[in-house]
Amino acid sequence: MSADAMTIARGGIGADQSHVGEVRISAPPAYSGAVLAPPLVRLRARHPRIRVTLIGETRYASLGRREADIAVRLNRPESGDLTVSKIGEVGFHAYVASGYAETVPEHDWTFIGYDEGMASSPQEERLAEIAAGRPIAIRASTLEFQVAAVKAGGGVALLPDFIAEGQGLRRLTLAGAALSRDLWLVVHTDIKDVPLVRAVMDALRER
């Protein structure tokens, strides 16, 4: 019965062939803040009757249960009646505060990373490889705090370039440190061709 109700709900949004209504977007919170505001504001300028709700979350909202209509993901979904398209890549590099690498010997570097909730992510596994036994002394669930800790001289962090750029940080050139992850745009197949949803998807591809 729950699945049938969700199918009916998706049918409701699909019945409206205009650019009017609300679209809920699930995306990583740091990426949302750093990247998605300008394209969504431009979308609203073109289609002022579209309302956008941005759900910045590290957990994955269910598109099948309509917790969100569209999702931006770093992992490609492998199940569900979903339409998935690659919209870009996210680069990761090792960053430090200006002067850190010049004043702290490399064997004494400390590292800044995620808490245990992200231990299996590719970037956290790469950070452990870079650290090579040196301490990951500061852990945080948010990228914003990791950036703040790096800027304060707390150590080396493997950060996505979109959040590190413009922060006055120095990118380190370390063998094997660079990492790239694909970025995916995901929508339930039932609503992928709805004009309202399609307009928002096109805006996210512009970013």
Beta strands in 4-49 (DSSP E): 21-27
| Pure H helices in 78-121 | 100-103
Low-confidence ranges of the chain (pLDDT < 70): 1-17, 58-59
CB atoms within 10 A of CB 6: 17
Q: How far apart are CA 107 and CA 105, in angstroms?
A: 6
Q: How far apart are CA 2 and CA 5, in angstroms?
A: 5
Confidence at residue 16, expressed as pLDDT on a 0 to 100 scale: 55
Q: Which domains does the chain have, with CATH numbers?
A: 2-89+182-206 (3.40.190.10), 90-180 (3.40.190.10)
In whole angstroms, how far apart are CA 114 and each of 79, 80, 123, 125? 27, 29, 9, 10
Confidence at residue 57, expressed as pLDDT on a 0 to 100 scale: 72
